[in-house]
């Protein structure tokens, strides 16, 4: 079957690009191996945010709870999460009925640079069911969980984020290997629900890709809530048993921690399984598929968006990259350079956009720092959310180079600065913009005026 565009993967990048392409008049085939909505909807962004919400609403009597009551609340939270996911999956399924879209279930493999075979595993053997040909192919297969190459990494009781999202019994002791976004969000959720949480992070600081000042403040805040951290620490081995025992080396000293459950949260890798990329000469690195500024691979007409290209593993980045790829396919002007904000849904939240101080220093770029604190904001005090800060980084003329926020609703506040950067506005433009009172947005105003 010939078509205008083949999209492999129905995560946010895949299904949103398919809808845009179909509305633009293209005939689109979307191939999905497993679940509509991809990792984000089924085992990532949406499920974790549901649990974050449930953890925030935990009854005070259970905030330090153990046993059946706490597990019952967790089971209710998981059930609510499942309801939300199913509702959103139904919405994606409806989108796949947009005129011009053909949804095909199965595993995709390249036959040649313009032909995709779709099949399924039968008795351990892959069997082709259908074949599609197109001048344009977008790979949007997402990512898979990484595992440390240490003894016991796959022992019983060592879970991935996907399995954590379906726990119905609250672990009394939870050890998390990895202090990135996934690790810290689960640490925040399960500590709030009553688990004793320990985080082991290999780097000097948690959230290695975030501003170090922000990350340190977040770690300090989570530590005050009862989470134990070991940074500059390398997990060495997981001993199976009841309890599990995790050996790690910290500052040259071998230590151990007992756990009922261990979460492996050391990142995600591009999902390249079964695509046969080498057979069609698509260039890859350990990070993922190599793409140019149009998201096109080294093979003309083949594109890669989202986690699979390793540029930035965020659902909204995949969607934005899909717009870039589609514009190139349709010979339209590409959107201006993408400015992608990031958020961590811990308590308190963290968010960033642009460069960190460390990145600016490493590049030898002069910058100015503009800060304001949540504790000086009336709305934050009224909300009992005075823990946090806003830091805006600019050049000497006021051009915004980056923004870093720690505190309540950081994931919402970051977009004012993202839009300002997108439009080329300066910090002076933010300072000259009237902000409603009392509101958390005034913290941004205070930083701009600092």
The set of catalytic residues is: 437
Among candidate residues 224, 348, 349, 276, the one with its CA nearest the CA of residue 108: 276
Q: What is the 8-class DSSP label of residue 2? A: B
HSE, side-chain direction, 13 A CA sphere, residue 389: 17
* Of the candidates 177, 172, 178, the residue with the CA atom closest to the CA atom of residue 191: 172
Size (the chain), residues: 450
| C-alpha separations of 361 from 214, 282, 358 in Å | 16, 35, 5
| Cα dihedral value 191, 193, 196, 200, nearest 10 | -40
SS3 content of the chain, % helix, strand, coil (to 5): 35, 30, 40
Which one-letter DSSP state was computed for residue 101? E
Number of other residues whose CB lies within 10 A of the CB of residue 174:
26
| Cβ contacts of 267 within 8 Å, gap of 6 or more | 146, 178, 180, 182
Rounded Cα distance between 133 and 127, Å, is: 18
How far is residue 349's CA from residue 406's CA, in Å, rounded to a whole number?
6
Cα–Cα dist 430/433, whole Å: 5
Determine contact, residues 408/374, Cβ cutoff 8 Å. Answer: yes
Spatial strand order in the sheet of 101-105: 101-105, 28-32, 5-8, 137-139, 302-304
Helix (H) / strand (E) element for 102: namely strand 101-105
Query: Between the CA of residue 380 and those of 59, 245, 329, 391, what are the distances in Å?
Result: 22, 41, 46, 16
Q: The tokens of 271 are what?
A: 């999902």
Contact 374, 344 (CB under 8 A): no
d(CA 357, CA 392) in angstroms, rounded, equals 10
């Amino acid at each position: 079957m010939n078509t205008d565009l083949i999209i492999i993967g129905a995560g946010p990048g895949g299904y949103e690009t398919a809808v845009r392409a179909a509305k633009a008049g293209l005939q689109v085939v979307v191939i999905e191996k497993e679940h509509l909505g991809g990792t984000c909807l089924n085992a990532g962004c949406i499920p974790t945010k549901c649990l974050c919400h449930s953890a925030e609403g935990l009854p005070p009597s259970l905030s330090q709870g153990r046993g059946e009551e706490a597990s019952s609340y967790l089971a209710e939270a998981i059930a609510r999460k499942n309801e939300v996911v199913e509702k959103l999956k139904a919405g994606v399924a409806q989108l796949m009925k947009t005129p011009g879209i053909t949804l095909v279930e199965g595993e995709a493999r390249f036959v040649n640079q313009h032909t995709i075979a779709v099949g399924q595993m039968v008795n351990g053997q892959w069997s082709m069911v259908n074949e599609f040909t197109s001048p344009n192919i977008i790979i949007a297969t997402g990512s898979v969980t990484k595992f440390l190459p240490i003894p016991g990494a796959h022992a019983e009781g060592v879970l991935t984020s996907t399995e954590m999202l379906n726990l119905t019994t609250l672990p009394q002791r939870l050890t998390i290997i990895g202090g990135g976004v996934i690790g810290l969000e689960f640490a925040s959720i399960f500590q709030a629900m009553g688990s004793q949480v320990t985080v082991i992070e290999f780097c000097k600081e948690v959230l290695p890709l975030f501003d170090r000042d922000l990350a340190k403040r977040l770690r300090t805040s989570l530590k005050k809530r009862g989470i134990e951290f070991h940074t500059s620490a390398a997990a060495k081995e997981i001993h199976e048993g009841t309890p599990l025992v995790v050996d790690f080396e910290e500052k040259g000293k071998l230590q151990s921690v007992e756990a009922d459950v261990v979460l492996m949260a050391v990142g995600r890798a591009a999902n390249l399984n079964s695509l046969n990329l080498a057979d069609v000469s698509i260039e890859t690195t350990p990070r993922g598929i190599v793409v140019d500024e149009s998201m096109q691979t080294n093979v003309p007409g083949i594109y890669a968006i989202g986690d699979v290209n390793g540029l930035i593993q965020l659902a909204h980045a995949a969607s934005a990259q899909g717009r870039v790829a589609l514009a190139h396919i349709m010979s339209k002007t590409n959107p201006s350079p993408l400015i992608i904000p990031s958020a961590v849904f811990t308590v308190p939240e963290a968010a960033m956009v642009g460069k960190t101080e460390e990145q600016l220093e490493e590049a030898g770029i002069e910058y100015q720092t503009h800060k304001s604190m949540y504790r000086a904001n009336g709305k934050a005090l009224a909300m009992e959310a005075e823990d946090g800060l806003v830091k805006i980084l600019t050049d000497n003329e006021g051009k915004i180079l980056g923004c870093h926020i720690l505190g309540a609703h950081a994931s919402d506040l970051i977009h004012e600065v993202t839009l300002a950067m997108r439009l080329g506005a300066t910090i002076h433009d933010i300072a000259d913009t009237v902000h409603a009172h009392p509101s958390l947005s005034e913290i941004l105003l205070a930083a701009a005026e600092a």
